[in-house]
Amino acid sequence: MLITDDFLPVPVPESLSATYLVPMAGLPKVSPKTAVAALTGRLAEPVHGLARQMLDSPLMSVDTRPIAEFPELPPDLLTAFGATEEQLARLAAATHLVVVQAEYRPGWPPAHEWAARAVAAAVAESVSGDVVDVFGLQFLDPATALRSLPDEQGRIRLVDWVLVPYSSDTEGLWFTTKGLRRFGLLELQTQGVPDHLTRAWGAVMTGAARRLLRDWTDGLTGEEVPAFVQLPVLATVTGHDIAVAYGNPEQHGATAPVLLRLELDPATDPEADSFLSLRPPAGHPGPDGRYYAAACATLFSGIQPDVRYARSGDAMSRAVATARAALGDARARFVAGQLPAESQLVVKYGLPGDDGPEYVWAGVTSWETPERIVGVSASDAATDQSVRIGSPVVVEATDVVDWAVLDGTGVLEGGWTQAVLDSGEPPTPAR
């Protein structure tokens, strides 16, 4: 095996397995084969044929057992991963579990996951029940489980298979992926992420997972399963990777790529998991958190920092007026938690300078009173050395000239001044 400073050898497991449960009151109404046959025309190939083939092979087993034979599924963890009260109530009322298990070699396609999820969804649909993904500790209704499977072009949304939970400690936020081990790859982690990057860094992790999973499966295309796959030490993540992972390839912009250094973090406890850590490239000055903030600013560049302008009676003035008129509604939705899931509210405001105001963006973290906005800077200011990426800022609402709602694919709403700048009619600099 060739080992260089440019590649990291990552061990490959000999085989992979998937387990799905279908809780039900009583026994199944139809056989698994009949349930899968009912999906004809609704489930794309090759998944439908793959499910039928694996049902007839020793690679898959489907058993029905009394629920008392199993350890209790932890309701607190199920709730943390999205279980509803109705789903937990159906689980509590269940007398039996249908257990769908499949095994396959590492590589693409992940036949064990696709086939097992398809069969479990078919069985659950036949009894109007639920699917429990044991790996992710998630409830899936049958329709959601079926939608997560590949379409006619073989495409999936990675967010349907890989979660990005996080927790907080004294160093900042600790992000991990949960789902890459389905495909044989070690999970990713990043530590020391600034608190205001909760949504943005989760999207970056998802995009990185998409890029590394592609490199991983490319290394598993031979007839024999290798002992190691060599992954690039410097992983490149782009806005396209993020958009594709979220199932929106048409929404990606031409963002510059971001480099992340891949490090193997082996577990010291035999019962614990090893990770692939994502870090700034070697030699990056300053704390890691500052690099992560800069990476997010690069990847989500639908808005730009450090905008200078001073014009009246033109498109820019109308853009500012539009943003200010809608600012109260934006605050009301932010305070009520009514902004889109996995989105971030940002505001643009002016900093005084010798040559006129410098306009910078900040992520909103708190907005208790209409007059004052508490947030964190999304850029380094040239006119005020205390305003750095990730630094806390307090913004007077009267200084706000624009606002936007962002998610992992770019601007969802707002950003009127940036739209003017992107229109090819740049305003003149302030003097």
pLDDT tier, 423 (very low <50, low <70, confident <90, very high otherwise): low
Q: Which residues of 53-81 are buried (b: 16+ CB within 10 A; e: fewer)?
A: ebbeeebbebeeeebeeeeebeeeebeee
Average of pLDDT values for 55-74? 95
Quote the CA–CA distance of 110 and 103 in Å, as a whole number.
Answer: 10
What is the model's pLDDT at position 351?
A: 83
Q: What is the mean pLDDT of residues 104-121?
A: 96
User: pLDDT per residue over 261-302, tens digit each?
Assistant: 999 998 888 777 899 999 999 888 888 998 998 888 888 765
Provide the pLDDT confidence category of residue 251 given band limits of 50, 70 and 90: low
Task: Render pLDDT for 313-326 as a digit per residue (tens, 0 to 9).
Answer: 467 788 888 999 99
The pLDDT > 70 percentage for the chain reads: 90
Residue 410 predicted with pLDDT over 80:
no
User: If we measure between CA atoms, which residue out of 20, 265, 257 comes closest to residue 123?
Assistant: 20
- Please determine, for residue 129, whether its predicted confidence score (pLDDT) is greater than 90: yes
Structure tokens at 310: 């001073």
pLDDT of residue 308: 40
Taking each helix axis from N to C end, the angle separating 47-55 and 111-126, rounded to the nearest 10 degrees, works out to: 80
Question: Which residues have C-beta within 8 Å of that of residue 381, sequence separation ≥ 6?
Answer: 306, 351, 358, 360, 387, 388
Flag whether the pTM goes above 0.75: no
Q: Identify the burial level of 161 via C-beta atoms within 10 angstroms of its C-beta, where 0-12 means exposed, 13-18 middle and 19 or more buried.
A: buried
pLDDT given at position 406: 85
Residue 255, pLDDT above cutoff 80: no
Q: What is the pLDDT of residue 344?
A: 86
pLDDT at 22: 97
Residue 313: partners with Cβ closer than 8 Å, 6 or more residues away? none
Six-digit token pair at 155? Answer: 């495409």
pLDDT digits (tens, 9 = 90+) for 329-349: 999 999 998 998 778 899 999
- How large is the average pLDDT for residues 374-390? 77
Please say if the pLDDT value at position 27 is more than 60: yes
Question: Which residue type occupies 72?
Answer: E
Mean pLDDT of 60-81: 92
Q: Report how many helices (DSSP H) and strands (DSSP E) the chain contains, helices first.
A: 12, 19
> Residue 306: pLDDT above 50?
no
Q: Region 172-190: what's the mean pLDDT?
A: 95
User: Which two three-digit tokens encode residue 113?
Assistant: 């996951």
* Sole residue written with tokens 């899936």: 140
